[in-house]
Amino acid sequence: MQNPFQIIDARLSNIESLLLDIKHKPQAPATAGSNSKAVLDIDEFCDYTGLAKQTVYKMTGKGLIPHSKRGKRLYFDQEQVNAWLLENSVRPLSAITAEADRYLSSKKRKGGRPC
């Protein structure tokens, strides 16, 4: 009879390998139910971005969100929406610090002190 701890260990190893296979498996292509459309209506846009309809209407009225209007309906190009969502990306602190160091080293005086 096998040690029960060995059985449990073998089963856990099997589960771990299955989970790793699932994690590294390529994702299936987008289905009809997902946001694979090139143009989104207001409801799809709200689902996609997580913004409330009222917020979207206010922001489109102020011209803050790229959109098209046909009659009273709003439409959003998904590529433009993605670009809009990512346009204010925040740089990591390490990149900001490196840039500041480069700037200060380029502004040193003859005496070796920064301006």
The three-state DSSP-derived secondary structure of 48-63 is: HHCCCHHHHHHHHHCC
The three-state DSSP-derived secondary structure of 101-115 is: HHHHHHCECCCCCEC
- Topology of domain 39-86 in CATH is Arc Repressor Mutant, subunit A (1.10.10)
Query: Considering the entire predicted model, what is its pTM?
Result: 0.52
Please state the domain extents for the chain: 39-86
Compute the average pLDDT of residues 82-89.
Answer: 88
Residue 12 confidence (pLDDT): 87
Residue pLDDT, tens place only, 32-71: 445 468 999 999 999 999 999 999 999 999 999 999 999 9
Q: Which residue has the higher pLDDT, 16 or 32?
A: 16
Compute the average pLDDT of residues 9-34.
Answer: 74
Q: Which residue has the higher pLDDT, 20 or 77?
A: 77
